[in-house]
Structure 1
Amino acid sequence: MPAAISMQDAVRGRWAVAAMFSINGFLTGSWAPQIPVFLTRLDISKVTLGLLILLFGLGALTFMPLSGYLMSRYGSRAVLRGFASVCVFGLLIVALATNVPTAAIAMFLFGGLIGGMDVAMNANAVSVERRLSRAVMSSSHGFWSLGGFAGGSIGGFAIQHYGHLTHAIIVTVVAILLLAIAARYLVTDPRPMAQEHHKFSLPKTPAIYLIGLMALITMIPEGAVLDWAALYLKQELGADLATAGLAYALFSGAMALMRFAGDGVRNRFGAVTTLRVSSLIASSGMFVAALSPWPWLVIAAFAVAGLGIANMVPIAFSAGGNQPGMASGTGMSVVTTMGYSGILLAPSLIGFAAEHVGFTAVFMVLSGFLAIVFLMSNLAHAADFAAQPAE
C-alpha cells in the first residue's frame, strides 16, 4: 500500500510540474504580444526597448544561481512554490510600469522570477523522473511550449479588444488558478546534503560545466533560428515575408511535437543514444539549411533540425540534475544558467557575424556546434537514472 500511494503521489507530481511548466510558458508567451504596446505607451525607441529586454535576460541569469542555492537548502518543491507565487504577478508588474526607470526594474524582476522558477521546475521534474523511474523532462518542456503558444495566441486578441492592463490581469488570474490547483501536488526532494547548506559556492565537479557547455551550444542554434532564420530566407534566398515566417513556425512546431514523443524515445533507447541520434539529426538539418539554395528546402531542413534539438536540452537538464554527489538544484542551476546564456548571447553575436560573413557561414558553424554535442554525448549517462522511492 505505501508503495502504491507513493507512485500515485509521483504521478500527481508529474502533472503538477507539467502545470508549472505551462504557467511559466504562458507568462512568457503572454509577454510577446505586450511588446508593441510597451514600446508605444512608454514612448521609447527600439534601442531602449532592446536594453529593457536585455534586463529581462540579465534578471534571469542573476536569479538562476540564486534558485539553485535556495534549493540546496530547502529543496525544489518549496523554492518552486515560492518563485511561482511571485512570478504569476510578473507580467502585471510590467504592465503597470509607467516610465523607463520603473519599467527597467519591472523587466529585471520579471526575468529574474521567470528564470528562478525555470530552474526550480526543471529540478522538480528531475525528482519526478527519479520517483517514476522514467523520463518526463522532454514532455515537461513540451508543456512549456503549449503554455507559450496559448499565451501568444490569445494575447493579441485580448489586448486589442480589452487593453494591455486587462490582458495582464486576465493572465495573472489564470496563472494563479493553475498554481493553486497544482502547487499542493508537487513532489518533495531528498533532503539536501548538509555540506551544501553553509554558503553559496559553485560546484567543483568539472562534468557539470561540460554538461552546461553542451546545453549552451545546443541552445545557441535554437536562438539563432528564432531570431535570424526569417531574415536569412528573405535577404539571402529571396523568399517573401510569408514564406520566411514559416521557418521558425515549422522549427518550433516540430520541436514541440518531438518533445511530447521524446520521453518515450528516451525511455526505450536511453539518454546517451537518444542524444547521439538527436545531435546528428539536428546537425544534418542545420547543415542542409546552410547550403540549400531553395527556400522551401531550407524551411524543411530547419524543421528537421527542430526534431533533433527538441530533446537535447531536456536530456542535458536531466543529466545536470542527476549528477552523483550533488543536489539536483545545484547541478540544474549551473546547466540552465549556462544554457540560457546561449540564447541571450546568440542574437547580437550572430547578427555581428552574419554582417561580415553571411548567414550561410553562420549556420554552417552552428551545424558544427551540434556535431560537437554528438562527441560529448557520453556526459548524458547520468540522465539514465535508477528509481528513487519517496522518503
Structure 2
Amino acid sequence: MSDRGTERAGRPSRAPHGARAWRNAVFAVFFLSGLSMASWVARIPAVRDFTDLSTQGVGLVILSMSIGSIVGLVVAPLVLARWGTRIGETAMLGTVSVGLVLIGLGGSVVPSVPLVVIGLVLFGFGNGAVDVMMNVDGAMAEKEIGKTLMPLMHAFFSFGTVAGAGLAVVASAIDLAVIWHLGAVAVLIAVAVGIAVRFVPRDSSDSVAQQRADASAPRRPWRERVRESLSVWADPGLLLIGAIMLSMSFAEGSANDWIALAAVDGHGYDQTTGAMVFTVFTISMTVARVLGGPVLDRFGRVAVLRVLSATGVVGLGLFIFGTEPWMIVIGTALWAVGCSLGFPVGMSAAADHPHRSAARVSAVAIIGYCAFLAGPPLLGFLGEHYGLLNALLVLMGLMVVAGLLAPAAREHSRRLG
C-alpha cells in the first residue's frame, strides 16, 4: 500500500450522508461570507458619493471594518467554547446582515457616516468571527470525511465573491438603491445560514462519531473549554503551521489590494489592464483551490507546499522584474497558484491532531487572518518609501519561508510512521 493509502487507512472511504450534509453546510457558509464581502466592496463608490466622503475618508471608514474584524477574530474562540459553531455561525452571519442593512441606510437613505461606520464595525466583527468558525467547522468536517476539502471550501468563498460582484453589477446597472441591494443580500444571508446550519453538528469541535460516543457524558464547563483553547498557543509546532499560513496569507492578501495598482504604477499599464491582471489572479486562485484537494491527497502536504512555494517565488519574480505583458500575466497566475493553498492546508494541518483540534484550528485561523488585515497596509507603507514593485520582494522572502517550514504541516500519520 502506498504512503498515502497507509495514512488514510482506518478513515472513512466514503462520506456518510450526515457528513456530506455537514460538508455542504460549510460550503454554504463560506459562500455566504464571500457574498457579503463582495456586495459591500462593489457598492463602496455609491456609498462614497452619497455620503460625500473623500478618498482619505473612505480609508478611515474602511478602517472601522478592520477594527471590527480584529475584535471578531479575538472573540471567536470564546463564542465557540461557549456555544459551538452552529449557534456561532448563525449569530455572526446574522450580525453581518444587520451591518449590511445599517450600511445601506447610512449610505443611501439618510447620509450618515456614523451609521455607515457602525454598520461596518458590525459587518467586520461578524465576518471576522465567522471566518474562524467556518474554518473550524470545515476542518472538523474534512477530518470526519477523510478527504482533503479545505481548498474547495475556500473556493466556495471565491464563488461567493463572484456571485456578489455579479449581483452588484446588476444592481448598479438598474440603478437600485444601496439599501435595497444590501438589504436583499442581508435577508438572503440570514435565511440561508438558518437553513444551512441545521446540518452542522451541535458542537462540531468534535467529530460526529465522538459526539455519539459522548452523548451521555456531561459537557465540560465553557470556562474550561476556553482555557483549553488558549493553551494551544504554547505549542511550537502549531506556531510553525501558523507561520506558513501567515507567509502565504500575506502574499494572497497583498495581491488582492495591490496587484492592480502595481501593474498600473509599477509597470505603466492602464487601469483596464490593471483590472485584468487582478482578474487573472482571482481566476488562477480559484482554479487552484478547486483542484487542490485531490493533489494534496495524492502527493501530501509537504511536497505540495514546497512546490507551491517555488511556484510563488517564480511568479513574483516574473511579475516584479518582467518587461513584457506575457511575463506579467504568467507571473500573476503563478503568484496566485503559489499562495492558493497555504491557508486551507494550514487549517487541515492544525486539525490533524488527536486532541484539541478545534482550538488549534481557531488559533492558526487568527494568525492567518491577521496577516490578511495587517499585510496590505504594511506593504503600502513600504511601497510609499521604496516603490510598490520593490515592496513585493518581501512577499518573495515570505514564500521562501513557507517552503522551508513546510515539514511542520506534515500529516500526523506520516509523523507517526
The alignment's TM-score, normalised by the length of structure 1, stands at: 0.90
Distance 1:74 1:257 in 2: 35
1:47 is displaced (CA, Å) by: 1.2
Is the 1:68–1:332 Cα contact (8 Å) retained in structure 2? no
The structure 1 residue matched to 2:123, chosen from 96, 101, 110, is 110
In the alignment, which of 176, 191, 196 is matched to residue 182 of structure 1? 196
The CA distance in 2 between the partners of 1:225 and 1:253, in whole Å, is 13
Name the count of aligned residue pairs.
383
2:17 aligns with one of 8, 27, 35: 8
Q: Deviations 1:318-342 (Å, cap 9, x if unpaired)? A: 22334553241x2233222222222
Distance 2:368 2:335 in 1: 18
- Residue number in structure 1 paired with 2:113: 100
2:48 maps to a residue whose letter is L
How far the C-alpha of 1:244 sits from its partner, in A, is 2.2
Alignment deviations for residues 97-142 of structure 1 (CA, whole Å, 9 cap, x no partner): 3422222222111101011111111100011111101111000000
Match of 1:69 in 2: 78
Alignment partners' CA distance in 2, 1:193 and 1:292: 57
Quote the residue 1:205 is aligned against. Answer: 235
- Residue 250 to residue 93, structure 1, CA distance change in 2 (3 Å): same
**Structure 1 CA distance for aligned equivalents of residues 205 and 414 of structure 2:** 15
Q: Distance in 1 between matches of 2:229 and 2:409?
A: 26
Cα distance in 1, alignment partners of residues 285 and 76 from structure 2: 27
On the 8 A contact 1:237/1:294 being kept in 2, the answer is no
The aligned counterpart of 1:371 is 400
Q: 1:177-206, CA deviations, whole angstroms, 9 ceiling, x for partnerless residues?
A: 422331211233326876424598463222
Q: Give the residue type in structure 2 aligned to 1:189.
A: S
CA RMSD, Structure 1 to Structure 2 (Å): 2.5
Deviations 1:345-369 (A, max 9, x none): 2333222222332233222221121
Deviation string for 1:221-260 (max 9, x for gaps)?
Answer: 2122222222222223222222222211101100001111
Q: Deviations over 1:294-323 (max 9, x none)?
A: 233112211111112111111012223345
SS in 2 for 1:278: helix
Equivalent residues of 2:77, 2:226 under 8 A apart: no
1:389 matched residue in structure 2: none
What is the rounded CA distance, in whole Å, between the counterparts of 1:4 and 1:326 in structure 2? 24
Cα distance, 1:92 vs structure 2:
1.5
Report the residue type matching 1:256 in the other structure: T
The answer to whether structure 1 residue 344 and structure 2 residue 373 are counterparts is: yes
Distance 1:111 1:302 in 2: 28
For 1:64 and 1:383, the matched residues in 2 are separated by: 27
Q: How far is 1:384 from its partner? A: 6.8
Partner residue, 2:88? 79
Match in the other structure for 1:320: 350
Q: Distance in 1 between matches of 2:375 and 2:286?
A: 21
1:160 CA displacement: 4.3
> Which stretch shifts more, 278-287 or 246-255?
278-287
Match for 1:220 among 224, 235, 250?
Answer: 250
Identical amino acids, percent of aligned pairs: 27
Task: State the Cα distance separating 1:82 from its structure 2 match.
Answer: 2.7
Q: 1:155 to 1:200 in 2, by over 3 A?
A: same
Residue 189 of structure 1 aligns to a residue in which SS? coil
Distance 1:14 1:384 in 2: 23
Moved more, 140-149 or 103-112: 103-112
Which of 267, 282, 286 is residue 312 of structure 2 equivalent to? Answer: 282
Residue 170 (structure 2) pairs with residue 157 (structure 1): yes
For 1:181, what is the secondary structure of its paired residue?
helix
Q: 1: CA distance between counterparts of 2:414 and 2:20?
A: 17
Question: What amino acid does structure 2 have at the position aligned with 1:222?
Answer: E
Cross-structure match for 1:148: 161
Is the 1:133–1:385 Cα contact (8 Å) retained in structure 2?
no
Q: 1:196 to 1:353 in 2, by over 3 A?
A: same
Determine if contact 1:233/1:295 at 8 Å carries over to the other structure.
no
CA offsets 1:240-298 (integer angstroms, 9 cap, x no match): 22222221110110000111111111121222222222122112211221111123311
CA 1:41/1:360 → structure 2, altered by over 3 Å: closer, same or farther?
A: closer
- 1:71–1:79 CA contact under 8 A, matched in 2: yes
* Matching of residues 114-125 of structure 1 within 5 Å: 114-125=127-138
Q: Structure 1's 176 and 79: CA in aligned 2 closer, same or farther, altered over 3 A? A: closer
Q: Is 1:381 paired with 2:410?
A: yes
Superposition deviation, residue 73 in structure 1: 3.5
**TM-score, length-normalised on structure 2?**
0.85
Inter-partner Cα distance in structure 2 for 1:211 and 1:193 = 28
SS of residue in 2 equivalent to 1:251: helix
- In 2 relative to 1, CA 313–4 (structure 1 residues): closer, same or farther, beyond 3 Å? closer
Structure 1 segments unaligned to the other structure (5+ residues): 387-391
* Pair 1:53–1:143, CA change in 2 (3 A): same
Distance in 1 (CA, whole Å) between partners of 2:412 and 2:58 is: 39
Tell me which residue corresponds to 1:303: 333
User: Map of 1:10-49 to 2, 5 A cutoff?
Assistant: 10-49=19-58
* Counterpart contact for 2:248–2:399, Cα < 8 Å: yes
Cα deviation digits, residues 56-108 of structure 1 (max 9, x gap): 11111111121112223433233223323333333112212342222222211
**Which residue number in structure 2 is paired with residue 133 of structure 1?**
146
